[in-house]
Amino acid sequence: MHDHRRLAGGRPKVPNQGAGKVRGLLERFSSELDLPPDLLLDLPRATLVGGVQLLIENHRGLLEYTPGRVRILTGAGQLTVVGERLTIGRILRDELRLDGRIDAVYLTEAGEMG
C-alpha cells in the first residue's frame, strides 16, 4: 500500500507590499470559503507516493537536475528533492513527476533563497 502525503506550499515573501496585501486577502478569502488555496494562490501541490514517486503540480520549471538532487521552481519558492537514482518520469507545462528513491523534500520560501 502506498503512503500518500501531501505537502502544501508555504507563504512566500513578496517584495511588493501591495501584492502582499492582495495575497493576504486571498488567503483569508480561501480560508473563509474553504476553497483550495493551491488554486486561488497559485501554490504548488506535491503528492508523495511512499518514497518512490513525487508528483508536483503547478511548477514553474526545473532549476537543477542530478540523480541525487532535483530543484524545482514553484510559486511558493524552491522545492528541493533529495534522493537516489532520481529520474523525471514526465514533465509537462504544469506537471512534473519524479521517480526514484526519495529521501527528503524541502520547500525553501522565496525570501530564504540565496
Partner 1 sequence: MSKARRRWIGSTVVIGVKGERLEQFVNQAVRAGVGLRRIERPRPDLLVARVEAGDFRRLRAVCRRRPWQARVLHRGRSGFKRLLGRSGLVVGAGLAALALLLLSQRIWFVRLEGAERVSAERVYAVAAESGLRPGVRREDVDRDAVQRSLLMELPAVAWAAVDLRGTLATVRLAERIQHGAALDLPGHIVAARSGVVERVVVVEGEPAVEPGETVQAGQLLVSGLLPPGSEAYRAALDDGRLPYLRASGKVYARVWHEAEADAALEVAELQPKRGLPRPWLRLRLGSRSLALGWRPAGAEGWRVQELSLGGDYGLDLRIAWPVVERRRLVPEAEAAAAAWEAALAQIESELPEEAELVGEPGRSVERVERGGASYVRVRAVVESVEPIGVFQGIDPLRAEFGG
Which residues in this chain contact partner 1 in the complex, by CB under 8 A?
61-67, 87-93
Decide whether 31 or 87 has the Cβ nearer to partner 1: 87
Smallest gap from residue 94 Cβ to partner 1 (A): 9
Decide whether 49 or 73 has the Cβ nearer to partner 1: 73
Q: Which helix (H) or strand (E) holds 19?
A: helix 17-32
- Can you tell me the distance from the alpha carbon of 104 to that of 49, in angstroms, rounded to the nearest whole number? 13
Residue recorded with cell 521517480: 99
Smallest gap from residue 17 Cβ to partner 1 (A): 30
Which grid coordinates are listed for 1? Answer: 500500500
Decide whether 27 or 57 has the Cβ nearer to partner 1: 57
Closest CA to 79 of 9, 20, 18: 9
Smallest gap from residue 18 Cβ to partner 1 (A): 29
Residue recorded with cell 486577502: 25
Decide whether 40 or 73 has the Cβ nearer to partner 1: 73
Which grid coordinates are listed for 6? Answer: 501531501
Smallest gap from residue 85 Cβ to partner 1 (A): 9
